[in-house]
Amino acid sequence: MKAEIKFSGFNSRQELKNFVYEKANTLIRIYREFIDSEIFLQLDNSPTIEKKLCEIRLAISGNDFNARTRSK
């Protein structure tokens, strides 16, 4: 599986990249049919407390799965 990580609104450290790749590789062990994944980490300038956004797109032959969450 190819995992692509994109950052927006901040500079990432190598520890964060390694953590995200480790979690993406856990998905491979659970379900080997994943073809591709895109992970977007973003820091918003919104007035709310929840400024951190994570979006994940997982591709399986014929299907795509999307998840999105916000956090403080």
Please name the residues in contact with 46: beta carbons below 8 A apart, sequence gap of 6 or more. none
Backbone angles phi, psi at 28, to 5 degrees: -65, -40
Question: What is the residue extent of each domain of the chain?
Answer: 2-71
Q: How far does Cα 28 stand from its chain's mean position?
A: 14
Smallest CA-to-CA distance from 26 within 56, 52, 54, 61 is with 56
What is the CATH number that goes with domain 2-71?
3.30.160.100
The pLDDT tens digits for 30-70 are 877 888 889 999 988 777 778 889 899 988 888 888 999 99
| pTM for the full predicted model | 0.75
Cα(14)–Cα(60) distance, integer angstroms: 28
